[in-house]
Structure 1
Amino acid sequence: MGILNLTPDSFSDGGKFNDEQLALKHTEKLLNDGAELIDIGPQSTRPSAEFLSSEEEIRRIGNLIFQIKKEFPEALISLDTFYSQTVKFGFNEGIDLINDISGGQFDSAMFDTAAETQLPYILMHVNPSYEAMHDKIKFEDITLEVNRYFSEKTNELLQKGVKDILLDPGFGFGKTVADQMKMIDEVRYLEFGRFPLLIGISRKSFIYKPLGKSPLDINEETQKLHLKVLKQGTKILRVHDVAAAKKTLEIYRNENY
């Protein structure tokens, strides 16, 4: 999954692709580098980012989903939003997946909208409110906590009629460095393999801050962690650098087939 941020304030690529032509050009690069999914993000969710309404998200997206589908019909598009209204707009434009960082907690209509559209839904573990999503919590057992959350939320989604669920443990959202490294080691135990796992660790601070590096300077370390989670059954890597992740995927396949 290649990341396409339409934001002026994302932490590592803010303002680079918030113009339709630049966004289309970057989409082409992501696909040429080997991306199968394009994750469109109209709103930054980094700490201290500007909070946007659904209307502003929709304005930022504009005709981009339609244009990507027109120019790159093979591309699958996920829409990174916690608003049901933005999802409805995206659905009408042709998106293929919902990527909701909030687990339905920031918009009470989200799960119903996922059921109505019948789009695959990416469920992420996060603190219960927008204001608290980056508050660091030291859990007694992070894997147990994430599994408890996944179990509760997937049951709710299934009861509402959402059939395709993917799980994202929420790296970079309200977790200590130690807990995130523990999650990397215990990915295989997350929800016991009931649903496909998506891992998004690209340019996350729990990797670069302890090393005293910048987000753009940790490719080697990130790929080692990507290999580690692939070996534990991860199905999707959400990344900025698709070409590097593709090489890691080839290493994994050569080792395991």
Structure 2
Amino acid sequence: MNYSTQVSKKTLKIGGRLIDLSIPRVMGILNITPDSFFGGSRAGSLQEATDKAGKMLAEGATFVDIGGYSTRPGAADISLSEESERILSIIEPLSKYFPDLIISVDTFRSEVARCAVNGGAHIINDVSGGTLDAAMLDTVGTLQVPYVLMHMRGTPGTMNKLTAYNHLTVDIINELLPKLLKLKEGGMSDILIDPGFGFAKTREQNFQLMNHLQAFHALGYPLLIGISRKGMIYKTLDSDADHALNGTTVLNTLALDRGASVLRVHDVKPAMEAVKLWMATRAIH
């Protein structure tokens, strides 16, 4: 199959708005957690969260993704109520201060998703693709909000031991397909596919995944790519997350060239610059 000829859906319906994804968009990361792997994404107060979100919006982000539960390996488990409280404490003021901001919530818990949407969130970004909460896919079908379907195996604590694949790209697509079909049966049409860089994949597999990213267009939905400051970058460069911005920009540009519609990043301005420069190359015939 010539995957590059597949046509993906290029819009997202969010409330009364239609978001055009023919021009790639940027999603900024805002973590209301004390233990996310990159300190620059964390906000320890409402004022700090508001300032960070405002900066992302000013720099060109279309979405801000709020996380209240760290999914890095070894992160502390927190209760459903604590995760909900963290997220809800931010959604309301952000909705008030930035009425045009599209708020995504990074959660794998269906009850948190429901509370977040009722509180004003627009998108659910589920790192587990519905595997950690059996009610999630039905819940987003009921809520009828855009859903990021990500590939992961196991839990954040076990995923690094679940990296055996017969054929990496084919296996990931085959594991996503039943979930995608369930979402479609629930009336969902606004879906983003995230191949799950760093989740149940070795560093070598992450680069293999990048090389075969176009295969995911066969699923027919836009791709969201989250590689910002991840280990595949800084471990390859013998560095750390704090010094992984340049590497992030390089791989984001490769992702754009392979058809990414949304870049999920810690650093909005460099990602927007990558999008603008990449779009400029597309305009030259």
Task: Tell me the TM-score normalised to structure 1 length.
Answer: 0.96
1:97-124 Cα distance to aligned partner (Å, 9 max, x none): 0000111111111111101100011000
1:46-87 Cα distance to aligned partner (Å, 9 max, x none): 010001121110121243101111100111000000111101
Higher share in strand: 2
Moved more, 97-106 or 159-168: 159-168
- Could you tell me which residue of structure 2 aligns to residue 57 of structure 1? 83
SS in structure 2 opposite 1:235? strand
Whether 2:40 is the aligned partner of 1:2: answer: no
The count of aligned residue pairs is 257
1:6-59 Cα distance to aligned partner (Å, 9 max, x none): 000011117840311110011011111111100000010001000112111012
CA distance in 1, matches of 2:163, 2:252: 24
Aligned residue among 188, 200, 203 for 2:226: 200
Aligned residue among 62, 79, 103 for 1:77: 103
Mind listing any 5+ residue stretches in structure 2 that lack a counterpart? 1-26
CA distance in 2, matches of 1:146, 1:198: 15
Alignment of 1:18-167 (within 5 A): 18-167=44-193
1:218-243 Cα distance to aligned partner (Å, 9 max, x none): 22222111111111111000000101
Alpha carbons 1:5, 1:13 under 8 Å: kept = no
Alpha carbons 2:73, 2:156 under 8 Å: kept = no
> What percent identity do the matched residue pairs reach?
39
- Could you tell me which residue of structure 1 aligns to residue 262 of structure 2? 236
- Could you tell me which residue of structure 2 aligns to residue 186 of structure 1? 212
Evaluate the alpha carbon distance shift between residue 189 and residue 204 of structure 1 in structure 2; reply closer, same or farther with a 3 A threshold: same
Evaluate the alpha carbon distance shift between residue 136 and residue 216 of structure 1 in structure 2; reply closer, same or farther with a 3 A threshold: farther
Evaluate the alpha carbon distance shift between residue 231 and residue 35 of structure 1 in structure 2; reply closer, same or farther with a 3 A threshold: same
Alpha carbons 1:7, 1:15 under 8 Å: kept = no
1:188-208 Cα distance to aligned partner (Å, 9 max, x none): 111515001000000110111
Higher relative contact order (CA 8 A, sep 6+): 2
Mind listing any 5+ residue stretches in structure 1 that lack a counterpart? none
Q: Give RMSD over aligned pairs.
A: 1.5
- Could you tell me which residue of structure 1 aligns to residue 15 of structure 2? none
Alpha carbons 2:66, 2:105 under 8 Å: kept = yes
Task: Tell me the TM-score normalised to structure 2 length.
Answer: 0.87
Alpha carbons 1:197, 1:234 under 8 Å: kept = yes
